[in-house]
Structure 1
Amino acid sequence: MKTALFFVGITAYLASAFYPADALHWMVSAVSLLIVAAVFGFVKPFVRALGTIFVTIGIVLLAAHGAPWRSFISGFGNMMNILSLFALIPLIALPIELGNYGARIQAIIQKTVKHSGLLYLVTSALSYILSSFMNLATLPMVYHTIRSSLELYPIEQKERFMSRAITHGYSMPIVWTPVAPIVGIVVEMTGVKWSSILPVAIPFSVLGLVLDGMMGRWIAGRRLKRLGSEAAAQIFAARENAVRPKAGQNVREKAGHPGQIIAAIVLFNILISALEKYTHAGFLLLVSASVVPFAFVWSLLLGKGKLFLTKSRTMLPAHLMKMKEQFFVFLCAGFMISAIQSTGAGHVIGEWIIAAKDVVGPGVFLLLIPFIPFLLAFAGLHPAVGLALAAESLNPQALGISAWLVALAMLIGAATAFLMGPYNATAGMMAGLSGQSAFRVSNWNAPFTAAYLGLGIILLLMLEKVG
């Protein structure tokens, strides 16, 4: 029943977005309320408490302002646009699975990568490329593609190596890729054009990747010095023997070329950019509506169109069931945001924020924005929820700060939240893959997160000075 409610809610939202009608909007709200009630007893206590706080604040605000009874229902469904994207994005990973690209990548790595420093660079870069397209599905794919190769290199703490390389590379595209719901939230709530932030966001994310590669190679260099030249030579010889092709082995058979993934990323970004320019639809809607057709066409080109449909029918219901906590928290937070908007409470919060900005100055205030989603992540809020709450109160025009600078600051903060937030899905999934606790995964990322945040602050200072 819960899966059916999730599916009906998403379908109703997409229908209402393309064919606006009061009946469809009410259906989205009613189904959202039913979802909250249906999953209430099936989510973790912390998540239940968080959602209850959000709903309670919303009810108190509406009741205090004498809102009509309809507002207590219509307030739900405010974040169904974000949830729709979360639900549909994993389907874009199917063509990568169907194309068997992982086997080809693994063969190339084992054949060409000679030392652990380069392996770290390749792992981080692969995670970056796939994250630009696959979002959270990147983590298990890169882990299972690379993990077996680690036995061929002198790496003592293999799980720490994997966790750092994957999560660092994964988090960098979050500042620009359209498949990251975070980007859609920031774009829609600040009113900036997605294409306007790309000339800065993409080079900055690549700079973050380069920084990570430099730190990884430095650590690898220290590791080799501790190991000694003789032991390193023995391990290198053993690795060469292990990767020598065996008779009759053909690793390239039925494996797609990795260059096809890069081509698909470029084409998808061109598609979204064109749709944003020539249509009046919201950014989140554009991405949500484009994901499935694009993935299906890609699968058709691979000769796997029918298999894509078969796997989608199995994958989507299973994925929706895993999203029950996201549905609960996001819909409850959306209700609170709706109450803040309809009662004018946001103006009061905005006045407090403007007062704080006047005390510290706009330049310093801009530098504090990245810390908002970062700190909220440690309070247990998903970066998307934290950003939605923050963006509702941070009005760039009222603050007297450029909207795209505010957007960039939020996105940098979101990346740090994904890097170190111990309660988000990134840490949880990496903890499951590596067999470690989420807090340990978070601690492993601390040095790079600090360096990346410092890099982000330098960028914001330079951009603020340029004006």
Structure 2
Amino acid sequence: MRSQPVLFLIRGSIFFTAFVLYHGSLAFSSAELQALLSAAAFLLFLTAIIGSGRFYSVLSTILLTCSLAVAVMRSASWMEWLAGFSSLIKLIFFIGLIPLISFPVGDFIKDIKQYMTVLSDKIRTLKLVHYGTFILANLINLAALPISKILFIQKDQERQRQAAVAELAGRSFGLAMMLTPTGAAIAVALELTGTKWTSLLPVNLLIIAAGLWLSYRLVKGKAEEAGAEKGKAVEQPDYKRLFLMLVPLVLYFVFLLSVETVYHLGIMEIIVISILPFTLIWSLFLKKAGEWLAHVKFQIFREAPRSFGLYAVIISASLFIYSMEITGLDDELVELLPWSGADMAFLFYIPATMLIVVLLSLAGVHQFVGMLFAANLIDPALFGIHQTVFASALLVGFVSGMQTSTFSGANILISNLLPTFSSYEIGRRNYLFALIFIPLSTALLILINFIL
């Protein structure tokens, strides 16, 4: 399609312009820069509507219409309303640029594969898939799934075994998104609740441990363990290179947590500001600065524009929520909910938070948007939910929704990697996990809420 390269060029140019304006608005508190950023976000939204799939276009149009209706009926200031287009623009930048972290890691794929091959001679293969993917996902996010496919799935494997590996890898990736500070899900949860990553960590580690145990128990025995051939000659990995891969990532995580602790910035903002300098410095050490620049251009002008349909939904959803906030409609809606201010209301609203995200995900709405609506509809302070518990509940909903939805990016990616499995089948295989994981997480979070 000839028009696509032109559209992608326009989208990429607007994305880059908005990114520069965002940094300018952070450095200089200027009403003019903020107005320009809102205008750029509006243009980004328009180019996202054009050429996006019907589902994204229809949903974005409905949300935009609702935003306009709220603004008109509640007599909102139009200038203030237009500012809502950029209210969550940093999430767009986060989603669009975080894949850059996988570029320097890509130089170490061979070493990772050799190390996993050595481990497969000592550890059950399914366990290695499970925990290996979890560790990789904490380091390189979504790129962990194709790497796991390369490492653990062969063409001649039985379909049942491929399904078991796909289940474990997908769920391990999802649970890792509750932990890694470079994951968009945890960044959104922290942003919506005003919680610090260090405060959320102990709670989420407990939920993750339960989820990993459950995930493995559900798959164990489904497929025969046929690990690597014993005694087969295996090339030993270069442990020095693995060390050189881990050190920059660990230092980056330490940097993120230190800045979050010292300054009044959220993880999302810190990563958006630092992702380009970090990956550039790492690439310079690897002597791949030229390739880094080419990868950045490719990400901005080829990869990020593919996600503009999702961006349109995020912008329109955040605009709708922003419209309710500036008009006070959100507070009025919350007051209509049952058991407002009741002592034990959290017993209902902790699982309700999860289910809102899951049900919207099953309907085709992205998990980020589901988290936005759940966080706006449920006021944790009003229902006696500790902010840390509320953030964790949002993330449980995110993970469960991502695992079960036919439309989730992770399930679609796994389906593309394994063409014999549809994203619907992959989601269906995770129903039992979600049906147990949600009540299990609810029980743990209710107990933690009592303690906190």
What is the TM-score with the length of structure 2 in the denominator?
0.89
Which of 56, 69, 81 aligns to 2:65? It is 56
Distance 2:433 2:413 in 1: 19
Q: Report the counterpart of residue 5 of structure 2 in structure 1.
A: none
Q: Report the counterpart of residue 464 of structure 1 in structure 2.
A: 449
Distance 1:156 1:320 in 2: 33
Kept after mapping to 2: 8 A contact 1:103/1:145: no
* 1:30-69 aligned within 5 A: 30-69=39-78
TM-aligned CA deviation for residue 343 of structure 1: 0.9
* Structure 1 residue 437 corresponds to structure 2 residue 422: yes
Could you tell me which runs of 5 or more consecutive residues in structure 1 were left unpaired when the two chains were aligned.
225-234
Distance 1:381 1:256 in 2: 44
Distance 1:311 1:288 in 2: 17
Q: Report the counterpart of residue 408 of structure 1 in structure 2.
A: 392
TM-superposition CA deviations, 1:166-189 (whole Å, max 9, x none): 111101122232212222222122
TM-aligned CA deviation for residue 251 of structure 1: 7.1
Kept after mapping to 2: 8 A contact 1:75/1:339: yes
Q: Report the counterpart of residue 200 of structure 1 in structure 2.
A: 203
Q: Give the SS at the match of 1:272.
A: helix
TM-aligned CA deviation for residue 359 of structure 1: 10
Kept after mapping to 2: 8 A contact 1:79/1:331: yes
Q: Report the counterpart of residue 116 of structure 2 in structure 1.
A: 109
Q: Report the counterpart of residue 221 of structure 2 in structure 1.
A: 218
TM-superposition CA deviations, 1:189-238 (whole Å, max 9, x none): 21222211112213432342233234333334xx46xxxxxxxxxx78x9
Distance 1:363 1:357 in 2: 12
Pair 303,251 (structure 1): closer, same or farther in 2 beyond 3 Å = farther
Q: Report the counterpart of residue 278 of structure 1 in structure 2.
A: 262
Aligned-pair identity in percent equals 21
TM-aligned CA deviation for residue 296 of structure 1: 2.5
Q: Give the SS at the match of 2:78.
A: coil
Larger deviation, residues 257-266 vs 135-144:
257-266
Kept after mapping to 2: 8 A contact 1:129/1:262: no
Pair 454,82 (structure 1): closer, same or farther in 2 beyond 3 Å = same
Distance 1:355 1:211 in 2: 33
Kept after mapping to 2: 8 A contact 1:357/1:365: no
Kept after mapping to 2: 8 A contact 1:78/1:338: yes
Distance 1:442 1:260 in 2: 37
What letter corresponds to residue 56 of structure 2 in structure 1? Answer: V
Q: Report the counterpart of residue 76 of structure 1 in structure 2.
A: 85
Larger deviation, residues 190-199 vs 89-98:
190-199
Q: Report the counterpart of residue 152 of structure 2 in structure 1.
A: 146
Which of 119, 123, 138 aligns to 2:129? It is 123
What letter corresponds to residue 141 of structure 1 in structure 2? Answer: I
What letter corresponds to residue 381 of structure 2 in structure 1? Answer: Q
Q: Report the counterpart of residue 209 of structure 1 in structure 2.
A: 212
Pair 103,12 (structure 1): closer, same or farther in 2 beyond 3 Å = same
Larger deviation, residues 14-23 vs 47-56:
14-23
Structure exhibiting the larger radius of gyration computed from Cα positions: 1
* 1:382-393 aligned within 5 A: 382-393=366-377
TM-superposition CA deviations, 1:14-37 (whole Å, max 9, x none): 321232211111111111212222
Larger deviation, residues 125-134 vs 54-63:
125-134
* 1:58-457 aligned within 5 A: 58-98=67-107, 100=108, 102-114=109-121, 118-148=124-154, 151=156, 155-220=158-223, 223=224, 239-240=229-230, 243-244=232-233, 252=237, 257-353=241-337, 355=339, 358=342, 361-435=345-419, 436-457=421-442
What letter corresponds to residue 162 of structure 1 in structure 2? Answer: V
TM-superposition CA deviations, 1:378-407 (whole Å, max 9, x none): 121111111112112222222222111111
TM-superposition CA deviations, 1:43-79 (whole Å, max 9, x none): 1111111101110000000001122332442221222
Instruction: Count how many residue pairs are aligned between Structure 1 and Structure 2.
Output: 442
Which of 14, 22, 28 aligns to 2:31? It is 22
What letter corresponds to residue 52 of structure 2 in structure 1? Answer: V
Kept after mapping to 2: 8 A contact 1:427/1:441: yes
Could you tell me which runs of 5 or more consecutive residues in structure 2 were left unpaired when the two chains were aligned.
1-9
Kept after mapping to 1: 8 A contact 2:49/2:57: yes
What letter corresponds to residue 142 of structure 1 in structure 2? Answer: S
Distance 1:331 1:82 in 2: 9
Distance 2:308 2:159 in 1: 38
Which of 2, 11, 14 aligns to 1:2? It is 11
TM-aligned CA deviation for residue 339 of structure 1: 0.7
Pair 17,354 (structure 1): closer, same or farther in 2 beyond 3 Å = farther
Q: Give the SS at the match of 1:175.
A: coil
